[in-house]
Structure 1
Amino acid sequence: MTQVLLCKNRNSGFIVAVQILIDWNHQSDWEVFNRTGISHLVAISGLHITMIAGMFAAIMAALWRRSFFTKAALPLLLPAQKVAALSGALAALCYVLLAGFGIPAQRTLYMLLTVALALWSGRITSVSHVLCVALAVVLLIDPWALLWPGFWLSFCAVGVILYTSVGRSQAVAVEGKSRIARFLDVLKMAGATQYAVTIGLLPLTTLLFGRVSLIGPLANALAIPLVGLVVTPLTLFASVLPAPLSTWLWRGAHALIGQLAVFLNWLSALPFAVWQAALPQPWTFALALLATLWLLAPRGWPLRWLALAGWLPLLLDNGSRPGAGEMWVTALDVGQGMAVLIETADHRLLYDSGPAYSPASDAGSRVIVPYLRARGITGLDALVVSHNHDDHSGGALSIMNNVKVNTVYSSLPLDHPIVTAAADHRRCNDGQDWQWGGMKFDMLYPDLDHYSVQEAAQEASKKHNPNTDSCTLKITHGAHAILLPGDLETAQERKLVARHAGQLKANVLLAPHHGSGTSSTAAFLAAVDPQIAMFQVGYRNRFRHPQRQVLERYQALGIEALRNDQDGAIMLKFGASIVADTYREQHRRYWYGR
């Protein structure tokens, strides 16, 4: 089922807003747009701005030449070309302001303003100079624009078009040609441009997003002319015309976009729609970039086909992996929540899935899945959802919808959506254990009796604290171990110490309940005796985790404390020893203030 809405978008001017609700494959609208490579059309597009500017310029030039059908002889006062350039530039400025002044829109606006200024000053412009001026203006106004993918994609796309066209395109004679022949010439030129942009941006798209839309050229071949030349003008005219004319235009645009949405949804569902890859290393990206320039070089360039070999390291890169005998632990920076990825050379386990940020956004879709894709990880052997709180289970469904998960361990109620969506669900149970190569997994809490108490409380409509259900997992790798206790509180810590006093010792401890004052008792810390503690907390979280007295307790015992809010993602490598590193230490920036 697909539902399509046309409306005035406050962020994109009078732009088509398409909402696609897909019930058979549960893809979001933006996921469909990204998989088909047409996101630039749904949001503000440089093509739309240029079209609007050209339309206003043509209208004003025609009226100015006719002196607005008066005898004022306006062209004698000011040439129509200058009036057209000024009108187009002003129309583009208004449109870009309505669109939210995004970087791609800024690039188009500054290029148009540069051309208009050159025309008014009587100077000759070259397209490359115009692009460089726009680039300089964008960076002067906002140097941080370099951090936005849209900056690189927008300028590089235009750069690729210039690289493959300026000085190469030949004038095509139109005299004596039929309309069909002229149409085929235009189609051939558009196809060549689409080919150049697709090939030229492949290394950059892989670097920024870790995936490339293989069906993008086909989707754009239909969507660009339909949205740019038909739907957008219809919606613009509908915005200014009175009813019932506006209603007819809206309905016409709605019908066209509806059919386009059905086609895009079908394309997006194809198994080969998107090629996934790990984010490339610097040398593989540089090599692929040089190979791309070689491949797109002018005809006559020697052995252009050999450039394909330069893509092989990029295409075959599976991402970084732990070596034999190693285990990597990554405490992801998901805000106020938990998500810890455990990796060996052959297996992956994720403990908790981070928080839900809003009904439409969670740590799974915003942090964890992009991280897994960037690392080239396409599946998880196991997902442990410790208990039924949103900061631990909020991203699980997004992860399960985007990444293959073999087994889900949880303490959730059996009718919970995560449980019903799992291909293989197992309840966390004291005594549960398994091995993957050199890793041993021991589930220490809760036991089966605890679930009986939980279900009885629910039947009696008594208030139940899900923290008491937290799956507690100990992972042993050679001489080292890590303990993951979820949100256990004081009473549960006492039970653990009483039942598994000799089994709790671990080198690394995930601080229970984010460092809350209700956890991390002295007896529990003494039984675990960790060297490193990881605090998964959000920056300036409203719970003020970790509590000062708890943090002082860890410090008094000589335990090294690593925190997501201060250090970013925490990475531990287990081998002969444990090596700790943090994202902010690896990627230092001056705005970290350290």
Structure 2
Amino acid sequence: MIIYIVGFFVIAWLPFLPPLYWLLCFPIVLIFSFYYFRSLRFQLLALMAGLTIALIYGHIQLQYRWHSSDAASTWRVEGTVDGLPDYKSKHITFNLRISSALNAVEAGVQPESTPRIIRLSWYRTDERLKPGDLLELDVKLRPPHSLWNPGGFDYERWALGRDIDAVGYVKALYVHQPVSSASIDVWRFSLIEWLGNRLRLQPVVLSTLQALLLGDKSGFVDWQWSLLRSTGTTHLMVVSGLHIGVCVLLGWWFGRIIAALLFRGKESRIPHHWLSVVVALLVSGSYVALAGFSIPTQRAWIMAAVLLGAQLVMRRPSVWFRWWLALAIVLTLHPLAVHEVGAWLSFAAVAALLFLVTARQKSAGWLMLLKSQWWIFLVLSPLMLLFFSQVSISAPFVNILAIPFLSLLLLLIVPAMLLEAAGVSWGLDFVGVLIQSLWDGLAWVNGLSDHGVVYIQQPSFMVILFAGLGAVMVLQPISIKLKALGVLCWLPLFVPPQSSVPSGRMSAVVFDVGQGTAMIIRTHGHTLLYDTGAAYPNGNTAFERSVLPYLRLKGIEFIDKLIVSHEDNDHAGGVSKVIEVMRIGAIESGMPDAINVTAQLCRVGVSWQWDGVYFRYIHPKPSLSATDNDRSCVLEVRSKACSLLITGDASVRIEEEVLANSDARAPIHWLVAGHHGSRTSTGVAFLEAYKPKNTLISAGFLNRYGHPHEEVLSRIKAAGSQVFRTDQQGALILDETTGDECRVETWRQKEKRYWTAS
């Protein structure tokens, strides 16, 4: 079983997919092993099976993915709305399952592939979409694309695992035929509308019921997610193992009651406990359907089915065999689950409970609940630190009360809704009071301490491995001395990290923030943030998606200086979010009066030194009267061996002015091209004067401005500079080696997987 699972791991971590003809080698390997390695033949057979399934799955998924070469055309598509549409204030987001071949509006153009599901945004429309509706649309499409940064979310992998082959937006509607047939999604949508009408004045209750009952989390707002993360209770609102477990328990007792009524005093060839298992799986399976068959709910139900299903066989396998079997089934159905953080947290939590069960400790019910939370906390903490560089200290204490409370809430929701349908409203009102009390309680706990969540620099894999080993040792029924040794295995987690940047050197990251700019420059003991990326209409920011995860990974909570080049949204959109989540030493800007925070002017000639690294502004002038772009802070940074120049959105005119007034124009190693590669910046004279070895361009994937412009790329190449682009290569990591080499590393290449764009 374990060897079979290894096959999925091998394929999932490959930087490219081997061609399918490699499968022809597998029979040869098996025949050879049967003759010369008979003792390993079954292990090799299992490994080949895992490799084969994962390889075929990868090729099937990739063959449907949309190609960048087709992004320029407008396409006529026909399909049905798949799943629940997500209604926002200014647009709708929905999945469309394609039912026929795509046709280009422009004659003579054929797509390189036909996608299965496309994810679309529809702006400024009054159309009311429902699951199953037939639509004929004109759309613009592009491949699913991630902002590829350290610690960032891999949207490309997420989309691939859910058969989403293209994303885009609606340009025109031709046919909208409402659904007339019944389906699970139609029922779910009708239930959402019913709840929306009933609870329109109680948004917190409505969003919570949608999440708990239907797996629809679109109603949650930022403060709710923030509160759940800080108290370690996100799992309460994401339909997964806990909720399926409550349904399994409810179904089990229903089954026992039914068995007692049917077989009381009667002989039966069918053991009575079979009915409990079947009813438990039917009830939990119905809940999975109501929650939309999402991958986390499928995963939880598979675990429940395997663990309970073993009760139906004569020779019951061990609980650990069932655990491995459940993992094998999950990977067979979803091979990319090896990269799903939720999968590992779920299986680790179940493993902790199995440790508790197999320890055969006799304790009162409340004490077992206390122990279960403590054991889960011990097992999950190393994984939380590995994946998120954070752990909630309050989580085990909060969950001791929150889990029983939520379990009670889940049991009351359906009866309350049935009473509401019968005209009795107090049931749903009572549930609303409980939901509001739950959120109030979480807010109260979160307000007790400003340090409920511990952030540390991402530990190495070996440190996490030792902590995991220590957790297992503490949970085992072994001597106190060995348990104490297990506790000591946790100590490396809390050793203060040493700065990864030596004195006199610098390290920098040009983040992939789409069409915008955000950079971090680090010295031995200081951190500078240059620009923040854009703010989005939905209230989110590029800083949260791209920069903040990196800061968490590095354990950075204080920014010595924030430089906002000018007021344009793609540079200054995330300023308020930075101030909200980080401590800031100083803020400077080329337009200090326009960025809505207290800031100083980044005045030309101002310089400072951090840890042997020199910083200075070479623009703007104090009395500058110019466009917003031309007021950008132009920053020069020079360390022991390397140099960096950032020009913001300054135009060629400003570049010429800088050259005329600069007292030194030594060649630089890294130049951040002006205005995202616009042809109005990065002029020939500037390139000839500074002779950059590497030119870095921060631009959005397939952006509507056409950045970087071909003319600019030609200038850079003619100057002998190597081009690096965030839209194609993800975050650009700049550092100095011990041999004084000024190196550029691209995150998309460093973390290359077979589904990522080249």
Distance in 1, matches of 2:483 and 2:384, equals 22
The answer (yes or no) to whether the contact 1:20–1:261 under 8 Å persists in 2 is no
1:91 Cα deviation from its structure 2 partner: 2.4
1:518 Cα deviation from its structure 2 partner: 1.8
The answer (yes or no) to whether the contact 1:9–1:17 under 8 Å persists in 2 is no
Q: Give SS of 1:260's match.
A: helix
2:235 maps to 1:40: yes
Partner of 1:305: 484
Partner of 1:89: 281
The answer (yes or no) to whether the contact 2:506–2:522 under 8 Å persists in 1 is yes
Partner of 2:357: 165
Distance in 1, matches of 2:203 and 2:664, equals 59
Partner of 1:402: 581
C-alpha distance after superposition, 1:26-85 (max 9, x if no partner):
x7211111111111111213222122233245335535654699xxx9996976644443
Partner of 1:449: 623
1:205 Cα deviation from its structure 2 partner: 1.1
C-alpha distance after superposition, 1:173-212 (max 9, x if no partner):
xxxxxxxxxxxx1111111111111112221111111111
Q: Which runs of 5+ in 2 are unaligned?
A: 1-201
Aligned AA for 2:443? N
Task: Work out which of the residue numbers 609, 628, 632 in structure 2 matches 1:435.
Answer: 609
- Superposition pairs for residues 270-349 of structure 1, below 5 Å? 270-300=449-479, 302-318=481-497, 321-349=500-528
The answer (yes or no) to whether the contact 2:508–2:735 under 8 Å persists in 1 is yes
C-alpha distance after superposition, 1:191-242 (max 9, x if no partner):
111111111222111111111111111211121111112x222222223333
Partner of 1:518: 680
Partner of 1:254: 432
Aligned AA for 2:342? G
Distance in 2, matches of 1:479 and 1:573, equals 10
Distance in 2, matches of 1:205 and 1:133, equals 24
2:682 maps to 1:508: no
Q: Give SS of 1:323's match.
A: coil
Distance in 2, matches of 1:477 and 1:277, equals 27
Distance in 2, matches of 1:74 and 1:545, equals 79
Partner of 1:175: none
* Structure 1, 548-557 or 120-129: larger mean CA deviation: 120-129
**1:237–1:75: structure 2 CA closer, same or farther, 3 Å change rule?**
farther
Partner of 2:223: 28
Distance in 1, matches of 2:216 and 2:258, equals 29
The answer (yes or no) to whether the contact 2:207–2:219 under 8 Å persists in 1 is no
Distance in 2, matches of 1:8 and 1:439, equals 51
1:535 Cα deviation from its structure 2 partner: 1.0
Task: Work out which of the residue numbers 405, 411, 429 in structure 2 matches 1:233.
Answer: 411
1:435 Cα deviation from its structure 2 partner: 2.2
C-alpha distance after superposition, 1:126-164 (max 9, x if no partner):
432332222111101111111121011100111122123
Partner of 1:584: 748
Aligned AA for 2:229? N
Aligned AA for 1:333? D
Task: Work out which of the residue numbers 698, 702, 714 in structure 2 matches 1:540.
Answer: 702
Identity %: 32
C-alpha distance after superposition, 1:243-280 (max 9, x if no partner):
57663222222222222322312322312311111111
Partner of 1:13: 213
Partner of 1:484: 646
1:120 Cα deviation from its structure 2 partner: 4.6
What TM-score does the superposition give when structure 2 sets the normalisation length? 0.68
**1:82–1:526: structure 2 CA closer, same or farther, 3 Å change rule?**
same
1:4 Cα deviation from its structure 2 partner: 3.0
Distance in 1, matches of 2:646 and 2:309, equals 64
The answer (yes or no) to whether the contact 1:16–1:232 under 8 Å persists in 2 is no
**1:246–1:198: structure 2 CA closer, same or farther, 3 Å change rule?**
farther
Q: Give SS of 2:701's match.
A: coil
The answer (yes or no) to whether the contact 1:497–1:504 under 8 Å persists in 2 is no
- Superposition pairs for residues 315-394 of structure 1, below 5 Å? 315-318=494-497, 321-394=500-573
The answer (yes or no) to whether the contact 2:505–2:613 under 8 Å persists in 1 is no
**1:287–1:62: structure 2 CA closer, same or farther, 3 Å change rule?**
closer
The answer (yes or no) to whether the contact 1:320–1:375 under 8 Å persists in 2 is no
Distance in 1, matches of 2:697 and 2:216, equals 44
What TM-score does the superposition give when structure 1 sets the normalisation length? 0.86
**1:232–1:278: structure 2 CA closer, same or farther, 3 Å change rule?**
same
C-alpha distance after superposition, 1:420-470 (max 9, x if no partner):
4xxxx21222222222232222212222222xx46xxxxxxxxxx532221
1:536 Cα deviation from its structure 2 partner: 1.2
Q: Give SS of 2:205's match.
A: coil
Distance in 2, matches of 1:504 and 1:254, equals 67
Distance in 2, matches of 1:258 and 1:16, equals 18
Task: Work out which of the residue numbers 441, 445, 449 in structure 2 matches 1:263.
Answer: 441
The answer (yes or no) to whether the contact 1:438–1:477 under 8 Å persists in 2 is yes
Aligned AA for 2:446? S
Partner of 2:60: none
Aligned AA for 2:430? G
Q: Give SS of 1:388's match.
A: coil
The answer (yes or no) to whether the contact 1:339–1:352 under 8 Å persists in 2 is yes
Q: How many residue pairs align between the two structures?
A: 554
Aligned AA for 2:330? V
Partner of 1:461: none
The answer (yes or no) to whether the contact 1:332–1:570 under 8 Å persists in 2 is yes
| RMSD of aligned Cα (Å) | 2.9
Distance in 1, matches of 2:742 and 2:677, equals 22
Partner of 2:593: 414
Distance in 2, matches of 1:215 and 1:299, equals 27
Q: Give SS of 2:533's match.
A: coil
Distance in 2, matches of 1:57 and 1:198, equals 27
- Superposition pairs for residues 182-261 of structure 1, below 5 Å? 185-229=364-408, 231-243=409-421, 247-261=425-439
Distance in 2, matches of 1:547 and 1:319, equals 42
Distance in 1, matches of 2:314 and 2:360, equals 26
The answer (yes or no) to whether the contact 2:567–2:594 under 8 Å persists in 1 is no
Q: Give SS of 2:213's match.
A: coil
Q: Which runs of 5+ in 1 are unaligned?
A: 22-26, 173-184, 455-464
C-alpha distance after superposition, 1:553-575 (max 9, x if no partner):
11111101111222222122236
Distance in 2, matches of 1:434 and 1:67, equals 84
- Superposition pairs for residues 138-153 of structure 1, below 5 Å? 138-153=330-345
Task: Work out which of the residue numbers 215, 231, 244 in structure 2 matches 1:49.
Answer: 244
* Structure 1, 45-54 or 95-104: larger mean CA deviation: 95-104
Aligned AA for 2:415? F
Partner of 2:305: 113
* Structure 1, 77-86 or 310-319: larger mean CA deviation: 77-86
Distance in 2, matches of 1:303 and 1:54, equals 36
**1:133–1:428: structure 2 CA closer, same or farther, 3 Å change rule?**
same
* Structure 1, 327-336 or 251-260: larger mean CA deviation: 251-260
Q: Give SS of 1:412's match.
A: coil
Aligned AA for 1:249? G
* Structure 1, 356-365 or 12-21: larger mean CA deviation: 12-21
The answer (yes or no) to whether the contact 1:485–1:510 under 8 Å persists in 2 is yes
Distance in 2, matches of 1:200 and 1:589, equals 28
